[in-house]
Structure 1
């Protein structure tokens, strides 16, 4: 089974990866991990004034800032079977799209653990992924 792991480089990502490693038989052994990082998109009114190769390089560099430390963490945990997707846009939409496109059976993501009031005021990528995805979503706090 393919398992999409949403990563943003935060402490919550580290906790989710630690959980996955601790439960190797459920999440790692015999499964393919797909790390998905979503960089916020440059607004169209600004991006149309930037050369496409410059914009692509920007997204590549921003993605590497998150993905490189995550790969190092996974190597330290003894996990080598992870592929990487870096995307840009709205985080929840892109995570769901990535999971659907790769045929994942599960989405795993860390959550900040905001209460009801926090979600109401700020929204939550995790809440939006749960609402928009037809796949099971495992939240690690």
Structure 2
């Protein structure tokens, strides 16, 4: 079962493997598709390696009987989740596709072919199995996909005061993250928190000698003003979005993970290279994927 030819471009694409985490991801993706007024495409990636059976005279042969049965069972689950999603979201166009290959390869390719707006995948809790699943799917997607990738983990904080949190470092990739965060906040009528931490800036960007308190204060003021100016250029485009700035002498990953405890979405880039950038976005995106208690959006550089 390939990708339906009628799926509208700009659809929200979500991966589905039958797990509870994937079901939460489908529900999250469906809500976003409704808010974005676009279609939802649920993709099931099927991988099957037939076992080698003992044949006559010691010659091995393979059988695909088990694989076909698993494919049919998986397709039934896919059809059921699509039908329940349509029922829960009247008017939403929901299409499905069962494609051969790994999610880390198939989902980015399908997103490119269909010009999808988002890729949404699920992640389970914080145990060893969840880390293994994240490492094999979500982290691979973040590395490979040129589209924004949403990893739905934990419980999304609901309510009018639950903010969208975005990491800011002044790089071109940070621009994409900030713009995405403002657009998402506008769709959800949510406030926004733009966060910046600078305790792990490269040493070359700081004075080589210990900074006097007044010098450090001036440096802090300059950084705050740079971040404020950076965010303001997007705030003017989204005047209905209430936003605030959060600064901290902390590691960026710790700051963002702490703010994520009350967030409906955390937005980060996968790299950061800019005039006020450090390692803020890069290893940080990897860290929050594992530890943030809310859905995480990761935007990768070209």
**Alignment partner, residue 102 of structure 1:** 114
Number of aligned residues: 135
Q: 1:16 aligns with which of 25, 41, 53?
A: 25
1:63 aligns with 2:74: yes
Aligned to 2:182: none
Q: What CA distance in whole angstroms lies between the structure 2 residues aligned with 1:134 and 1:3?
A: 14
Match of 2:150 in 1: 138
| Equivalent residue number for residue 42 of structure 2 | 35
Distance across 1 between alignment mates of 2:129 and 2:69: 35
Choose 123-132 or 69-78, whichever is displaced more: 69-78
Structure 1's unaligned 5+ residue stretches are: none
Structure 2 unmatched runs, 5+: 1-9, 54-60, 154-302
Partner Cα separation in structure 2 for residue 121 and residue 17 of structure 1: 17
TM-score (norm 2): 0.38
Q: Which protein has greater RCO, CA pairs closer than 8 Å, 6+ apart?
A: 1
Q: Which runs of 4+ in 1 moved over 3 A?
A: 20-23, 43-46, 48-51, 54-60, 113-122
1:53-132 matches, within 5 Å, as: 57-58=68-69, 60-79=71-90, 80-114=92-126, 119=131, 123-132=135-144
Q: Which has the larger radius of gyration?
A: 2
- State whether residues 3 and 104 of structure 1, in contact with CA within 8 Å, keep that contact through their aligned partners in structure 2: yes
Give the deviation of 1:55 after TM superposition. Answer: 8.6
Once the two structures are TM-superposed, the CA of residue 132 in structure 1 deviates from its matched residue by 0.8
CA distance in 1, matches of 2:149, 2:82: 22
Q: TM-score, normalised by structure 1?
A: 0.74
Over residues 72-128 of structure 1, what are the superposed CA-to-partner deviations in whole Å (9 max), with x where a residue is unaligned?
A: 321231254121110122221111222122221210111124469963798331111
